[in-house]
Chain A
Amino acid sequence: MTKQVQQLDRVIIRFAGDSGDGMQLTGDRFTAETAQFGNDLSTLPNFPAEIRAPAGTLPGVSSFQLHFADHDILTPGDAPNVLVAMNPAALKANIGDLPRGADIIANTDEFTKRNLQKVGYPGNPLEDDSLKEWRLHAVPLTSLTVRALDGFDISKKDAERAKNMFALGLLSWMYNRPTEGTVKFLESKFARKPEIAKANIAAFQAGWNYGETTESFSVSYEIKPATLTPGVYRNISGNQALAYGLIAGAVQAKLPLFLGSYPITPASDILHELSKHKRFGIRTFQAEDEIAGVAAALGASFGGSLGVTTTSGPGVALKAETVGLAVTTELPLIVVDVQRAGPSTGMPTKTEQTDLLMAMYGRNGESPVPVLAPATPSDCFTMALEAARIAVKYRTPVMLLSDGYLANGSEPWRIPEVSELPDISAPFTTEANGEDGTYLPFKRDPETLARPWAVPGTAGLEHRIGGIEKADGSGNISYDPDNHDRMVRLRQAKIDGIDVPDLTVDDPSGDARVLVLGWGSTYGPIAAAARRVRAAGHKVAQAHLRHLNPLPANTGEVLRSYDKVLLPEINLGQLAMLLRARFLVDVISYNRVRGLPFKAEELAAVIGEVIESV
């Protein structure tokens, strides 16, 4: 039977199943195949905080969404074109996001009376008319897999567990993905269990063959490779990019990296990644708590390392006092906050932008810190390197605000040439800088206001620093009122004076009257929304802040150049408050705090309303 091949420009697939069904792995493999094929792509994993929630229940559903296209794309997509539902819970949890006419591939084997009851289905939706508005492909994935693996020397349970590879094979056929990568991956993943490796590969191939032969699937699709900027690419998640950016920062600063960290979702993968790279001289220290993590990092910085701590919001709250110590002792330190839904424990695996004000002001006293926020998963590399540059050049703690969406999302990344990366080294001080050969640890560089950095082991520069207010210059303890006022202002002026690139505005028409502004991980949905608005014939300018403290010098000027400024944030208007206070501009906030990224469609509608109101 010759099957029809249909051309598409983009597709959104969502794999959904029980948290033990291997959906994240299935999604990762499909992503790797798609990246290899050369499509542009963007991914959004969505999983419960529970490692193994009760099987077959709604809270136990784990999903992975992948958007891929023959052109450059900006988000993991709003609504899936295809839902793979491994059980009734996965169907029920995701059907609401599925537009009419989309494909549903459901594993009929799991639609048992008991599983249906668990999630409150009165009957079997695969057998009544309730799904008639979708294109339903009812496939007994489990039993087909078990049958395909008949003859392998593995348990029935292991055979059943390979059903995700059968599903992957089927989808790989549907979208004409290359398969060599997955075969190789399985061989290496199960290198110590060759029979399991062979079985998984067989299940994967059986899934592909099933697509090719069964009548249930009459069409396969082709999405041509995207034309991206020439270069060498790899697919990368935000956490991995951030870890690589920290390594690059240490290499380019010519300093050993010291990571003090305590495991916390969704930041732990940065600790895991950095702990693999010891041959870069990286010391990773899993501390007894969040405070010890940052304290050890600061102690290492005092000794001449690039001290880093990685955490999420609850951890930042605990680290505040030590960050204040880093502010006043003026030592380099990077604090990575992979933001998650709060307050308190909140929703650990869900995303939010609610730590901005904490990063800015969440310490006692006047204690300014630079704040940076990457815009996309791969931008985590660039901004981690930028954080290292600022920390070392200005001898200051730097807050780097990633979030759960960036951390786990992935996209193709054009790998930079190491020769393109900036040299950010700032040599230690080895000579006395005071009269009569004394060392003044707080005698500042007149241009950057940074203090010298003399590390233990440097003869003649022995000195003491600490949390008590220091006399300008000498660094001796001082309670002098005028000295304190001067030091407070000097520390503020140092941060205010950090060199930050200007804010660039994307306004193809050149005469838009509405600006849509964002920061951090909302870049993708905002830019995709702006495209939609422009495609519909309207004009909108877009700008995105990655430096939040200090703000780019032209920020006020940009804001005042538009009749209206719209600022979508996944919080209740934290940046809006800062901009209103600072520039007296009546920023229009759009806020949703659902633990999920914005959708492009949603933002396009909001932008449209603002344009209409002008």
Chain B
Amino acid sequence: MSDSFNGGLNGKGLALIPRTDSKQTLKDFKSDQEVRWCPGCGDYAILAAVQSFLPELGLRRENIVFVSGIGCSSRFPYYLNTYGFHSIHGRAPAIATGLAASRPDLSVWVITGDGDALSIGGNHLIHALRRNVNLNILLFNNRIYGLTKGQYSPTSEIGKITKSTPMGSLDKPFNPISLALGAEAGFVARTMDSDRKHLQGVLRQAAEHRGASLVEIYQNCNIFNDGAFDTLKDPGTRDEITVRLEHGQPIVFGTGENERAVRLSPTGGVEVVRRAEVADGEILVHDAHNPDPSLAFALSRLDEPAFEHVPMGVFRSIDRPSYDHLLNEQLATATADKGEGSLADLLHGGDTWTIG
């Protein structure tokens, strides 16, 4: 892709954001507010990971903004000593769009959940992604409604028994990664609340990507949906079902006799086969920078049905001009062509006549 995109900011997604000279620590990003999630909630791990990762970016703290919607995860901004806006249900991507579009000097983060982002706010999410607004959207997916006390969510598995679905839920869940890729998001990744190293690695790449980044974070709700991701965490099963995506690497996973690989399927998608049964050259090499999102989408379907194998990591990371860049470029072009606006000239434009 051309280097002219984003003002030549390829790979330098933070270039417009003022940096600090002084050394920052985790403490600088902790607010004085008491954290009030349920003990054992996965949100604690994500908060700690974010607080300890932010100093690494070296950005001026006052140029970082966290915007959230409604739900357990949306309390997040209160616990960070940056600018923050805890808004209304589902609307955080829209509010953040106005902020990011008018302030390219800010690092804007949206904190949302599976209910907030995919039910009430689904429309805003897909449009923020397709526009490529310069946002880092962290979608905490616990596959349940927590704050309203345990109804099924748009990512809950079919047949989920909850207070509102005593005979089981009927609707097929969204796969947030597939949805984001369908909206042609430029940066799409999945990570895990409890895997701090992987989480921070993904967040760093998201931050450095200029444009919309969607990071799905599997997050355990130990009250209403405990153990939803246990198979991905349990050392006994973890490595057998986690498909770690790394750009430029052949996609293989599993151990010993169970080692498996991903290759192109005859039907045009991808399939999982025993490693021993495929030649090296047949194994799909992950290309996160492929402008065509089709293969990334196919990879996002690997967890169908029911978490048999779950890809984690960066599905897609491509450069395309961000919305704020294009918008501000139009302003600059209009000003360069005709000069800065003059109110007097504007009011006197068109046909005028003088009396007296």
Q: Chain A residues in contact with chain B, CB under 8 A?
A: 32, 35-36, 38, 181, 227-235, 244, 247-248, 251, 256, 258, 260, 277-283, 285, 287-289, 291-292, 295-305, 307, 321-322, 324-325, 329, 415-418, 421, 456-468, 476-477
A247–B346 Cα distance when bound, in Å, is 9
Chain A residues contacting B85 (CB-CB under 8 Å) are 299, 302, 329, 464-466
Interface membership of B4, Cβ < 8 A: no
Q: How far is the CB of A432 from chain B (nearest CB, A)?
A: 13
A458–B83 Cα distance when bound, in Å, is 9
Task: Name A464's contact: one of B78, B98, B123, B352 (CB within 8 Å).
Answer: B78
Q: How far is the CB of B179 from chain A (nearest CB, A)?
A: 15
A38–B355 Cα distance when bound, in Å, is 8
CB within 8 Å of A: which of B2-38?
A: 18, 31, 33
Chain B residues contacting A282 (CB-CB under 8 Å) are 331
Given the interface pairs A278-B330, A279-B341, A464-B31, the reply to whether A285 lies near B97 with Cβ below 8 Å is yes
CB within 8 Å of A: which of B322-356?
A: 327, 330-331, 333-335, 337-341, 343-344, 346-356
A307–B105 Cα distance when bound, in Å, is 18
A577–B81 Cα distance when bound, in Å, is 48
Chain B residues contacting A301 (CB-CB under 8 Å) are 98
A297–B344 Cα distance when bound, in Å, is 26
Q: 19 other contacts beyond A248-B343, A299-B100, A464-B78, with CB at 8 A cut-off?
A: A35-B351, A233-B352, A244-B346, A278-B331, A287-B127, A288-B124, A288-B127, A292-B124, A295-B95, A298-B95, A302-B95, A305-B102, A456-B99, A462-B61, A462-B84, A464-B31, A464-B84, A477-B33, A477-B78
A324–B78 Cα distance when bound, in Å, is 20
Given the interface pairs A258-B102, A300-B102, A303-B106, the reply to whether A232 lies near B61 with Cβ below 8 Å is no
Given the interface pairs A233-B352, A459-B60, the reply to whether A292 lies near B97 with Cβ below 8 Å is yes
A233–B61 Cα distance when bound, in Å, is 51
Chain A residues contacting B186 (CB-CB under 8 Å) are none
- Nearest 9 Cβ contacts at the A-B interface: A230-B356, A466-B86, A299-B98, A296-B98, A280-B341, A295-B94, A464-B84, A299-B95, A278-B334
Chain B interface residue count, CB cutoff 8 Å, equals 61
A460–B28 Cα distance when bound, in Å, is 11
Interface membership of B87, Cβ < 8 A: yes
The chain B residue with its CB closest to the CB of A32 is B351
A279–B100 Cα distance when bound, in Å, is 19
Quick check: A38 and B353 within 8 Å, CB to CB? Answer: yes
Quick check: A298 and B103 within 8 Å, CB to CB? Answer: no
The chain B residue with its CB closest to the CB of A280 is B341
CB within 8 Å of A: which of B88-124?
A: 88, 91, 94-103, 105-106, 123-124
Quick check: A299 and B67 within 8 Å, CB to CB? Answer: yes
A287–B93 Cα distance when bound, in Å, is 12
A285–B102 Cα distance when bound, in Å, is 10
Quick check: B355 and A467 within 8 Å, CB to CB? Answer: no
Interface membership of B162, Cβ < 8 A: no
Interface membership of B178, Cβ < 8 A: no
Chain B residues contacting A256 (CB-CB under 8 Å) are 102
Q: How far is the CB of B94 from chain A (nearest CB, A)?
A: 4
Quick check: A296 and B101 within 8 Å, CB to CB? Answer: yes
Chain A residues contacting B338 (CB-CB under 8 Å) are 279
Chain A residues contacting B60 (CB-CB under 8 Å) are 457, 459
A466–B85 Cα distance when bound, in Å, is 5
A244–B33 Cα distance when bound, in Å, is 44
Q: How far is the CB of B181 from chain A (nearest CB, A)?
A: 19
Q: How far is the CB of B17 from chain A (nearest CB, A)?
A: 10
Given the interface pairs A321-B88, A467-B88, the reply to whether A291 lies near B355 with Cβ below 8 Å is no
Chain A to chain B contacts (Cβ below 8 Å), 23 pairs? A233-B352, A234-B348, A234-B350, A234-B351, A277-B341, A285-B327, A295-B124, A296-B95, A298-B98, A300-B98, A300-B99, A303-B103, A325-B87, A415-B347, A456-B83, A457-B18, A459-B60, A464-B31, A464-B78, A465-B85, A466-B78, A466-B85, A467-B70
Chain A residues contacting B96 (CB-CB under 8 Å) are 299
Quick check: A456 and B103 within 8 Å, CB to CB? Answer: yes
Interface membership of B293, Cβ < 8 A: no
Chain A residues contacting B63 (CB-CB under 8 Å) are 456-457
Interface membership of B62, Cβ < 8 A: yes
Quick check: A281 and B331 within 8 Å, CB to CB? Answer: yes
Quick check: B356 and A229 within 8 Å, CB to CB? Answer: yes
Q: How far is the CB of B70 from chain A (nearest CB, A)?
A: 8
Quick check: B62 and A322 within 8 Å, CB to CB? Answer: no
The chain A residue with its CB closest to the CB of B354 is A232
A35–B330 Cα distance when bound, in Å, is 35
Interface membership of B77, Cβ < 8 A: yes
Interface membership of B82, Cβ < 8 A: yes
Interface membership of B65, Cβ < 8 A: yes
Chain B residues contacting A468 (CB-CB under 8 Å) are 86
The chain B residue with its CB closest to the CB of A235 is B351
- B293-320 CB mask vs A (1 if < 8 Å, else 0) is 0000000000000000000000000000
Q: How far is the CB of B37 from chain A (nearest CB, A)?
A: 14
Quick check: B352 and A232 within 8 Å, CB to CB? Answer: yes
Quick check: B348 and A302 within 8 Å, CB to CB? Answer: no
Task: Name B353's contact: one of A227, A232, A251 (CB within 8 Å).
Answer: A232
A305–B62 Cα distance when bound, in Å, is 17
Given the interface pairs A229-B356, A456-B83, the reply to whether A303 lies near B33 with Cβ below 8 Å is no
Chain B residues contacting A258 (CB-CB under 8 Å) are 98, 101-102
Quick check: A415 and B348 within 8 Å, CB to CB? Answer: yes
Quick check: B353 and A299 within 8 Å, CB to CB? Answer: no
A232–B356 Cα distance when bound, in Å, is 9
Chain A residues contacting B334 (CB-CB under 8 Å) are 278-279
Chain B residues contacting A461 (CB-CB under 8 Å) are 62
Chain A residues contacting B62 (CB-CB under 8 Å) are 456-462
Chain A residues contacting B327 (CB-CB under 8 Å) are 283, 285
The chain B residue with its CB closest to the CB of A412 is B353
Q: How far is the CB of B309 from chain A (nearest CB, A)?
A: 34
Quick check: B99 and A303 within 8 Å, CB to CB? Answer: yes
The chain B residue with its CB closest to the CB of A459 is B62
Quick check: A278 and B101 within 8 Å, CB to CB? Answer: no
Quick check: A285 and B355 within 8 Å, CB to CB? Answer: no
Q: How far is the CB of A422 from chain B (nearest CB, A)?
A: 13
Quick check: B86 and A233 within 8 Å, CB to CB? Answer: no
Q: How far is the CB of B112 from chain A (nearest CB, A)?
A: 13
Quick check: A291 and B339 within 8 Å, CB to CB? Answer: no
Q: How far is the CB of A450 from chain B (nearest CB, A)?
A: 19
- B165-177 CB mask vs A (1 if < 8 Å, else 0) is 0000000000000
Chain B residues contacting A300 (CB-CB under 8 Å) are 98-99, 101-102
Q: How far is the CB of A238 from chain B (nearest CB, A)?
A: 15
Chain A residues contacting B330 (CB-CB under 8 Å) are 278
Q: How far is the CB of A81 from chain B (nearest CB, A)?
A: 24
Quick check: A36 and B353 within 8 Å, CB to CB? Answer: yes
Quick check: B81 and A307 within 8 Å, CB to CB? Answer: no
Chain A residues contacting B353 (CB-CB under 8 Å) are 35-36, 38, 232-234
Q: How far is the CB of A391 from chain B (nearest CB, A)?
A: 15
